[in-house]
Each structure stands twice: as C-alpha cells, then as structure tokens.
Chain A
Amino acid sequence: MSSLKKFAVATPRPLPVIVLADTSGSMGENGKIEALNAAMKDMVSTFAKESRLRAEIQVGLITFGGKAQMHLPLVAAHGVAGFSEFQAGGVTPMGAAFDLARLLLEDKDRIPSRAYRPVLILLSDGQPTDDWEAPFKALCDSERAQKATRLAMAIGPDADEAMLKDFANDAEAPIFKAHNARDIHRFFRAVTMSVTTRTASQNPDISTAFVVPPPDDDALDLDFQ
C-alpha cells in the first residue's frame, strides 16, 4: 500500500476554564469537599467528550487550603487521564490563589492570544486568611480577567459574599449560594452547560445567561443508571 499523504489542519482554539477552589479545613465538613470532587470529575469528563473542532476546552485547577497551589496545570480536558482529589485542610490563603490565577492568565505561553475568552470560577465557604485585597484587585483589573466570564459560588453562611459578588462579573448571574453538597453539584452542572453551549446551537433571542436551575426543578438533572 502506498503511503497516504499528510496534510495540516487547524489546531482548535483553546477555551480555558480556571477553577479557584477553597480547600480549607472547613470544606471537610458536611460532605462539601466530596461533592466538590465529584463535581470536578463530572465537569472534566463532560468537557473531555466535547467536540474539538472549534474549541479545545482546557481546565486548570487552583486550590487554596493551607497553601495556594496549582492543583492541575492548565491542560486540554480530553487529555486529562485523572487528577488527585482535593483534600480539605488548613487556612484560606485566597490572596495567594488570586496571584496564581493572575500569573496564569497573563502568561501568553500558556494562554495564547488566539484563545477564547477564559472562564474563571471562584468558590469559597469562608473568609480569606491572608492579605487578599491587593491581589484581588490586581486580578480583577488585569486585562484578561476583565474579558473573562467570572462566576462565583458562596458555600454556606460563612462565605465572604461581598467579595464573591465583586468577583463575579456576569450581570445576569449574581453569585450562587450553595446551601448543601447537592447545590455544589448543581452549580457545576450549570457551569459545564454554559461552557459547552458556547460551541453548540445558540439563539440570540433567548438569553444564554448562566442559569442554575431551581432545586425543586431537577427534571433535567438526569443521572442514568
């Protein structure tokens, strides 16, 4: 058999999804960290199955619990074989996490200029324990973070809602308040949906705003056995 010729095709445009997750000690209570881990796994596996003809969804996970770190560097979702689960523990160094996020966003090697506008997700169940105000402002003021879709989830009554509200920039989607572990899952289902529908059918007449379905209305929340 003669060898088939080779031709180049376009590499898909990256679509970065960056999650800043609170993994401080309090997240270990009431099944929160377990719900978050399950939600992350679901989200990444759904992204992995998405068509890569137009966009390649990339996922980066930053955690802050004890210390801030890059839990999963920004990688193509379909190439993620698996990642270690979040462990809850320690204080809430949110400021350091904001710095990590800003450095990642501004890194033109990791997020080239041809990338689609990133999606930033911040979730927390408590108050920052480090000096967070300056890093927060620097992140929110950075050019790319301003262009990004920023979503926030306040978990439980102790979360710093005012700060989370400042972080979120989608006028149609105020911060989402999770009251239990199941809400964490619902929030990420909505995040997943809002990312994947960017490349699916769109109707400008119908607002494609970020909408978390009401808890009593889980007709669409299908888990197949």
Chain B
Amino acid sequence: MSTATPEAPKKNRTVLDQHGQSYELTGRIGEGGQGIVCTTNYPNVLVKVSRATTEEKRNSWTSKIRALMRQPLEGLPIAHPQALITQPQPGYVMELMDGLVPMTELMQVATDALMSDEGLSGYVKTGGLLRRLKLLARLARVLAELHGRGLAYGDLSPANVFVSQSLEYAEVWLIDADNVASQSRDGQQGVFTPDYGAPEILRGESGINTLTDSWSFAVMAYRILTLVHPLKGNVVLEGEPEREEAALRGELPWVDHPVDRSNALSIGLPREITLNAPLRALFERCFNAGLNNPGERPSLNEWADAFEAATGHCDQCESCGSTFFYTSKHICPFCDHAQDTNRTILLQEYRYMPPDLLREGLPEDVPESLIRKECWTRTGKAMVLSMSPTELKTLPLGTSLYADARPLCTVELAKDGLWIEPSVGTQVSLQRASDDKVVAVVRRQRLKSDSRSGVSFWLHLGAVEEEHVVWRFNW
C-alpha cells in the first residue's frame, strides 16, 4: 500500500481544439455513457469530452463526430460540433445559448409538487398547459425540419432537450447531436434512453430512424402533459421490473387503449383536460397501431401541426392562472372556476368561394340554393381569442407554412369590445348573419361590448369577388 499524499488543490482542466484554441472546463452540465458535457471559460460555449477508453473507441468516436460536422444542421437549434477537441481526450466544441434548463426539470418540478401534496402548483409554475404545448410544437417543428433534411436525431429524451428557463419564452434547443444520422444508414445504431426508446430498438430489431424519433417524441410529449408514461399502467407500476421491461418492448397495450384495458392507468393528469381531441387521436395512433408497426406512427410534421393548432385553443383561468383547452362551458378544469364567458370568443375558419366563381363550368340547372350553400367550406380550424391581440393570416395556426404566411388582419378582444385592424393591402369586411348586412373595415375599428348579443358574424379577409378566408364568431 503506497502512502497517500494529501492532494494538492487542482486547477481546472484545459483542453485544446484542432485549431490550437484552448478551453478551460469550468463545470459539468451533463454526463452520460458516452461522455461529459462541460461549461467553459467562454460564455455559451460547451465542450463534450468522450468517455472512450481505448484507442480504437477514441478513433471511432472521432470519425463519427467528423461525419456529424459535415451534416446539414445549419439554422436548426441543435448544439452541434463546431470544432474537434484533440487534447487530452477526443471531444468537440459546441455552442448553446444560456438561460436554458433540461425538459426533465419541467417534469420533475410538476411531479414533485404532486407527490408532496402541493397539487398542480408545480405544473402551473413551469408554465402550465399552454407553454407545454408551445414547447412541444416548437420541438416537433425542429425535428420535422431535421427529418426533412434526411436526418434522424437518434437519442431523443427530455434530458437532451433544453428549454427556456424564463416562462415568457418557449425556445427549444437540442443538445447531444452525436447520434444524428442519415436515415439511409442501416440500423446499426441502437442508442436510446430508458423509457424513451422505441420498442423495436429495445428488441434489438432496429437502429434509429425518423420513426423511432417519432416514438420518443410522443412519449416525451405524453409525459410532459400528463406526467405519466404511456406504457406504464397499473399492472406495470405495481409489478416487478421485468414487467416494465416487457411493456417497454411493446408487449402490453398502452394505458389509454380504447378496448384492451389490461394495462389501464388510474393516475396521472386526466387526458380529457391535458389533451384535445386531435392530440388524443395522434397519441392513439402512435401508441396503439404504431406500437409494433412503426410506419403507423404520426410524422413529426403531423405532431407539429397538431401542437401548433392546440396552442390557439387555450384560455387562461382568471382564478388559478392555469391555461386550459377552451370549451363552451367556460370552466377551468384545473380548479373548477367558472370563467366570465365574455373573456373569450371562439373563431372558426371557413373558405369562401364567391357564387359567380363557383358557378363557372357548372350546368345551368344547378339550383341557386345549392350554390349559396356550397360557397362556404368549413376548414375545421378554430382559434380561441382571449385578452391578447392575435394575427389572422392567409393560413391558420397549425400549418407548416404559418410562420411565413402573410398577415391579413389583427383581432383583439378588449374590455371595450372586439377590435379589428386590417393589414395593409387587405380588404376586410364584416357580415352580420342575422340580416346579411356587410360593413367594410378600413381602419382599426371595434364591435362594442354592449352590442354583444350572441349573433353570428362573418369576418371576410379578402375581396368579396375573390376566394378568401372567413372567420366566423358569435358577438
């Protein structure tokens, strides 16, 4: 036994990149089987050091990172290698904006509060339902874009997704891009995080691809919204770890299976209040049909559309501050507070085709009444307007091109009425259903609060003689 010497205080370690630039490692922000992610003496610059212990492993890791540096990741919020670390261990340098926390924290804070008898305070404190929907919409859109570039992310889990710490923002960054891979690569890479890996990866039948990303995304989304795992029903939670393994390999039905209730779950936030109907339908497709048939799973584009649309369907409780899905009952499902019904209005989208255009090419004998009816097509898109100004665009929220769509008008529900402000170059008019009276809106104008009587209105966004978007609401 050698004599132990008291250890001298150590200095922070310094690493060198391929260009000779040095970085002092100042703290550890993440640690996994593959390496350690450290903060450095430069703001927003992180270094990941590999854990590879043999020359062979180091070389293979380095060549993987070199390959990753050639992947088209520009413009995506994915922290990816900017330079290789060469000394003393292989690694790479990446940039990550500050003010972010891992998504696991949202889940832990919300779960801890429920377990320590503080109820939903943790859920609300981490942004409640609406912010969760916004974060998931953003994450799905980023992944959809990545998939569109022919790449799969690989090891998606809430520990790899960083989100704004401040509740005012819903920024999303992915870290640990090491496993990003071209979809065409045959399934060699079976990396996963327990609870989030797709069943076919756990069974050793597949490597990562866009369909396994879709699975991991859905599990994350379900957990963040409901605080429970889609495959861990009562029999799994109460059973031995072997049963959990079987469930994660896809051998048991999912907890909300419509018919097979053998793995049903009696806890977690009720799905009726945390998921709207389109989201429930997507989860059902992913976890039921998609459980062992990856091709059945919704694409990330579908998820992004559904989550973006869902962000337009929320109301905020005047009493507890929770955000919740609008219903005609106007009751907050998180505290049962009855909301002032005048706080919100529901807008429903239609496409209007002028009768003259519609009649073109049709036989003479098509009755006028049918034409008048067919002018209107309900798109199924809706928006809940509450106390903040909202832009109405050529495309509704929940379509991939919404962000770039042209705004047509801004609507704002205020105490003194509903304000309508046309965008430059858009003809806006308001039609009252009761008498078909049409008024042109040429500047910021309002429907007064005291005129509110539940009458239907049609807000036309475009020239009356052309096909255009119409939003219907009651005032």
Interface residues in chain A, defined as those with a beta carbon under 8 Å from any beta carbon in chain B: 1-11, 13, 29-32, 34-35, 51-54, 113-117, 155-157, 179-182, 193, 196-206, 208, 211, 213-214, 217, 219-220, 222-225
Q: Which residues of A contact B114 (CB under 8 A)?
A: 6-9
CB of B7 closer than 8 Å to a CB of A: yes
A114 adjacent to B237 (CB under 8 Å): yes
Q: Check if A204 sits within 8 Å of B228, measured CB to CB.
A: no
Q: Which B residue sits closest to A78, measured CB to CB?
A: B112
CB-based closest 7 A-B pairs: A31-B4, A181-B4, A2-B335, A8-B267, A156-B1, A219-B89, A4-B120
Nearest chain A residue, comparing its CB with the CB of B188: A205
| A-B contact sample (5 more), CB < 8 A, given A29-B1, A220-B89 | A7-B269, A53-B111, A200-B159, A201-B33, A225-B9
**Chain B residues whose CB sits within 8 angstroms of the CB of A208 once the complex forms:** 33
Count A-B pairs with CB separation below 8 Å: 178
15 CB-based A-B contacts, threshold 8 Å = A3-B119, A7-B227, A10-B232, A10-B267, A32-B4, A53-B108, A53-B195, A114-B239, A114-B240, A180-B4, A198-B194, A200-B159, A203-B191, A220-B89, A224-B12
Q: Measured between alpha carbons, how far is A190 from B1 in the docked complex, in Å?
A: 21
Taking CB atoms and an 8 Å cut-off, the chain B residues in 258-275 that contact chain A are 266-270
Contacts of A31 in B (CB 8 A): 4, 6
The answer to whether B267 touches A13, judged by C-beta atoms less than 8 angstroms apart, is: no
* Contact partner, B25, options A3, A34, A224, Cβ 8 Å: A224
- Give the Cβ gap from A189 to chain B, nearest Cβ, in Å: 11
Give a binary string over B68-91; 1 marks a CB under 8 Å from any A CB, 0 the rest.
000000000000000000001100
Per the bound structure, the CA–CA distance linking A21 and B162 in Å amounts to 39
CA distance A72 to B194 in the complex (A): 29
**Interface residue? B34 (CB, 8 A):** yes
Query: A41 CA to B190 CA in the complex, in Å?
Result: 35
Interface: B124 (CB within 8 A): yes
The distance from the CB of B124 to the nearest CB of chain A, in whole angstroms, is 7
B419 within 8 A of A: no
* Bound Cα distance A199, B86 (Å): 29
Of the candidates A11, A32, A220, A225, the one whose C-beta lies within 8 Å of that of B49 is A220
Asked, given contacts A10-B232, A53-B111, A219-B89, whether A200 binds B1 with beta carbons under 8 Å apart, the answer is: no
Q: How many residues of B contact A (CB 8 A)?
A: 80
Binary A-proximity of B1-25 (CB < 8 A = 1, otherwise 0): 1111011011111000000000001
User: Which residues of B have CB within 8 Å of A196?
Assistant: 31
Q: Is the CB of A224 within 8 A of B26?
A: yes
* B157 close to A (CB within 8 Å): yes
How distant is B1 from chain A, measured CB to nearest CB, in Å? 4
Contact mask B113-147 → A, CB, 8 Å, 1/0? 01101011100100000000000000000000000
- In the complex, the answer to whether B53 meets A222 with C-beta atoms within 8 Å is no
Q: Are A211 and B53 in contact (CB under 8 A)?
A: yes
Asked whether B51 is an interface residue with its Cβ less than 8 Å from the other chain, the reply is: yes
Given the known A-B contacts A30-B1, A223-B10, are A9 and B241 also in contact in the complex, defined by CB atoms under 8 Å?
Answer: no
CB distance from A173 to the nearest CB of B (A): 13
Chain A: which residue is nearest B3 at the CB level?
A30
Residues of chain A within 8 A (CB-CB) of B117 are: 6
Q: With A1-B319, A114-B241, A201-B155 in contact, is A7–B194 under 8 Å at CB?
A: no
CA of A155 to CA of B1, assembled, Å: 8
Q: A113-B240, A201-B191, A201-B192 are in contact. Are A5 and B33 (CB under 8 A)?
A: no
The answer to whether B189 and A205 have CB atoms under 8 Å apart is yes
Q: Does the CB pair A4–B237 fall under 8 Å?
A: no
Expressed in whole angstroms, the Cα–Cα distance for A196 and B332 within the complex equals 40
Which residues of chain B in 395-416 are interfacial with respect to chain A, using CB atoms and an 8 Å cutoff?
none
The complex places the Cα of A182 from the Cα of B8 at a distance, in Å, of 12
Contact between B238 and A9, CB atoms less than 8 A apart = no
CA distance A113 to B239 in the complex (A): 7
Contacts of A217 in B (CB 8 A): 53
When the two chains form their complex, are residues B121 and A200 in contact, meaning their CB atoms are under 8 A apart?
A: no
B104 touches A51 (CB 8 A): yes
Task: Check B241–A117 contact: CB distance below 8 A.
Answer: yes
A198 to B247 alpha-carbon distance, docked (Å)? 17
Task: Please tell me if the beta carbons of B190 and A204 are within 8 angstroms of each other in the complex.
Answer: yes
Q: How far is the CB of A23 from chain B (nearest CB, A)?
A: 16
| Min C-beta distance of A210 to chain B, whole Å | 12
Q: Which residues on B sit within 8 Å (CB–CB) of A13?
A: 241, 244
What is the distance, in angstroms, from B448's C-beta to the closest C-beta of chain A?
Answer: 31
Beyond A9-B115, A9-B268, A30-B1, whether A4 also contacts B108 by CB under 8 A is: no
Q: Which residues of A contact B51 (CB under 8 A)?
A: 220
**Residues in B neighbouring A220, C-beta threshold 8 A:** 36, 49, 51, 89
Q: Quick one: closest B residue to A184, CB to CB? A: B4
When distances are taken between beta carbons in the complex, the residues of chain A under 8 Å from B244 are 13
- Complex CA distance for A216 and B152, rounded to whole angstroms: 37
**Distance from A109 Cβ to chain B, minimum over Cβ atoms (Å):** 15
CA distance A4 to B336 in the complex (A): 8
Instruction: Pick the most buried of A8, A199, A208, A213: most chain B CB atoms within 10 A of its CB.
Output: A8
Contacting pair B228 A52 (CB below 8 A): no
- Residue of A5, A30, A34, A201 near B32 (CB, 8 A) is A201
